[in-house]
Amino acid sequence: MPNWGYSITSLDTERTVKASGRELRISHKDAREVCSTIKGMKLEKAKVFLQEVILKRKPVPFRRHKKHVGHRRGLQKAYAGRYPINASKKIFEVLENAEVNAEYNGFDRERLRIIHAAAYPGMKIRRYIPRAFGRTTPYFKTLCHVELVLEEVEES
C-alpha cells in the first residue's frame, strides 16, 4: 500500500482534519474547478452546494478550463460554467469522509470550514481500440487525486 502525502504541510493537528480520495475516475479539470469553488466554505454550505450541482440547480464557475464552455445563469464573477455531476459526487463522498474524521476527533460540525481543497491528475489508464488493417488507436483515461482539509474555526 502506498504512503500518500498531502500537498499542504505544517497543519495544526489540534484544529484540522484531512481526507483524500486517490485514483478517482473523474476529470481532473472538473475536479479542480469544483475544489476551487468550495474552498473557504463552511462544511454544511459546501455540502448543500454540491448537492445543488448534482441536481443541476447551481452551476460551477469555470475559471481556468473554460474553452468552449457556455454561459450559465446564476454565476457571479464568472461567465462560463458547467454541472460536473460525477466530480461533484466523488468530492461529496470525500467531504463526508472528512466530516466523519472530524466527528471521530471530537470537532464541532457547525464550526468546520474547508481551508484546503485540491485536485490534481493521477496516473493514466492506457487502453487501445483495434482498427482496420492491423492498426490500433490509443485512448487514455487520466485518474484524479482529491484532497480536503477542514479546520475548526472560533465562533465570532
Which string of b and e fits 95-105 if b means at least 16 CB within 10 Å? bebbbeebeee
What is the mean pLDDT of the segment spanning 80-96? 96
What is the DSSP annotation of 43-109?
HHHHHHHHHHHHTTSSPEEPSSS-TTPPB-TT-SS-SBEE--HHHHHHHHHHHHHHHHHHHHTT--G
Cα gap 126→58, rounded to integer Å: 34
CB atoms within 10 A of CB 21: 19
Model pTM above 0.75: yes
Q: What is the pLDDT of residue 1?
A: 62
pLDDT digits 0-9 by tens, 96-108:
999 999 999 999 9
Cell match 466523488: residue?
A: 90
In the 8-state DSSP scheme, what is residue 39?
Answer: T
- What number does CATH give the domain 17-152? 3.90.470.10
State pLDDT tens for residues 47-70: 999 999 999 999 999 999 888 998
Kindly indicate the confidence band of residue 3, based on its pLDDT and cuts at 50, 70 and 90. Answer: confident
Three cell numbers written together for 77: 464573477
